[in-house]
Amino acid sequence: MALPASVPEEPITAQAAHAEPPVIDLHGLSVSFGRRQILKNLRGDLRGRAIGLLGPNGAGKTTLIHTLLGFHPASAGTAQIFGLDISEQAKQIRALIGYMPERDSFIAKMSAVHFVRLMGELSGLPSEAALERAHEALFYVGLGEARYRRLETYSLGMKQLAKLAQAIVHGPKLIFLDEPTNGLDPPARLRMIKLIREIRDSGKAHIVLSSHLLLDVEECCDEILILRDGQIVVYCNLEEERKSNRKFLMLETRGDQEKFVKAINQLGCEYALTGDHRLKIVLQEGVEVRDLYRLAEESQVQLRRLSYKRDSLEDIFLKAMENGYGGL
């Protein structure tokens, strides 16, 4: 079975014509913990305004973020962020980065404004500027009224927002968001998504969003990178995928499906079996729906249902997971 959005074998260049250095440039990056290799020879340059990092548990998403932040050394290869090498210019890189960790992270016995101010100062802001921006960041994320409360007394949703505030207080050029909607109720999740989109649309910062929730990534990101077993299985531009003219059809059939799919394959169309008697087809240039009716007749297959379907992120993700591995 075929059809991932793109399965890179060669270095990826999403928009190769760019003169600016890519946001993240991976040069055969590998990371090992002991004998276990977590990230395997990652290559590619990511240039999106908002890049979604997807993958099942243990795929290496968080390890990739941590390595880019300089928390783990690369066992082979390297990476660059805005043209700066992660192993040689880690400190300069971290001055350009904001990071919102996945786990509950805060400094105890501090009010939110004190905490965000401290984080601002550690990023190099003078004390007064840090205080001013701490107030602004907390208002921006919606914690303005609760900014003098101690962080220990915050709800999970408020803690997530406080983490976002500390990540943006110094106005970074790149923000890593690791599972920002984890544990949030629907209104809080919507608020978080809205904030991420606002930051993205401001055009002042790039975002790398790591999430298990495909919907979050779909709503916020223009590019996605899917990892599996420490390898890149898909890297694509969601917008381009959406805009592409590839036609997706969902079919429900009865009869000898095997013969039918063989005939479809011979026609040059990519297909995927999505369940009992159901299959999804990508119509290639020059292939019309009436050709399918003809093939169905020849294969003595009944077409019970036929509907158009565009490739969603879920499709891309599921295909990436299936591709070459035989399923999730």
Partner 1 sequence: MAVYEQTYKPYTGKLTPEWSRFLIIPRHAFRVVFKSKLFTAFYVIGFLPLLVEAVLIYLHHNTTALTIMKLNDRELFVIDGSFFQTFVYIQGVFAFFVGLLVGPPLVSRDLRNNALPLYLCRPFTRTEYVMGKMSVLLILLSWITWVPQLLMFLFQSYLEGFAWFRANLWMASSIVIAGVVWVLLLALLSQTVSALLKWRIVASAAMLGIVFIPSVFGSVFINILFRTKWGDVISLFALMGHVTSGLFGTYDTVAGRFTVEDFNTVREIVITNPPLWACWVALFLFSAACLALLSWKVKAYEVVK
Residues that bind partner 1 (CB under 8 A): 33-34, 66, 69-72, 91-92, 94-95, 97-99, 101, 103-110, 114, 118-119, 121-126, 129, 133, 135-137, 139-140, 144, 166, 168, 170-173, 198-199, 202, 204-205
Residue 54 C-beta: closest distance to partner 1, Å: 21
Strands (E), 162-258: 174-178, 206-210, 223-228, 231-237, 247-255
Largest CA distance in the chain: 78
Find the angle CA(215)-CA(220)-CA(221) to the nearest 5 degrees: 100
Closest CB to partner 1 among residues 87, 274: 87
β 278-283/247-255 pair status: antiparallel
Closest CB to partner 1 among residues 33, 325: 33
Give dist(CA 121, CA 238) in Å, integer. 37
Residue 105 C-beta: closest distance to partner 1, Å: 4
Between the CA atoms of 67, 69, 70 and 72, what dihedral angle is there, to the nearest 10 degrees? -30
| 278-283 β-sheet, strand order | 270-275, 278-283, 247-255, 301-308
In 3-state terms, what secondary structure has residue 194? helix
Residue 218 C-beta: closest distance to partner 1, Å: 21
Residue 40 C-beta: closest distance to partner 1, Å: 17
Could you tell me the two tokens for 170?
Answer: 């110094």
Closest CB to partner 1 among residues 109, 310: 109
Q: Are 171 and 202 in contact (CB under 8 A)?
A: no
Residue 85 C-beta: closest distance to partner 1, Å: 15
Give 43-65 as a DSSP string. EEEE--SEEEEE-STTSSHHHHH
Closest CB to partner 1 among residues 200, 319: 200
Closest CB to partner 1 among residues 125, 279: 125
Residue 204 C-beta: closest distance to partner 1, Å: 5
Q: Are 233 and 77 in contact (CB under 8 A)?
A: no
Residue 61 C-beta: closest distance to partner 1, Å: 14
Closest CB to partner 1 among residues 132, 291: 132
**Phi, then psi, of 47 in degrees rounded to 5:** -125, 0
Closest CB to partner 1 among residues 60, 172: 172
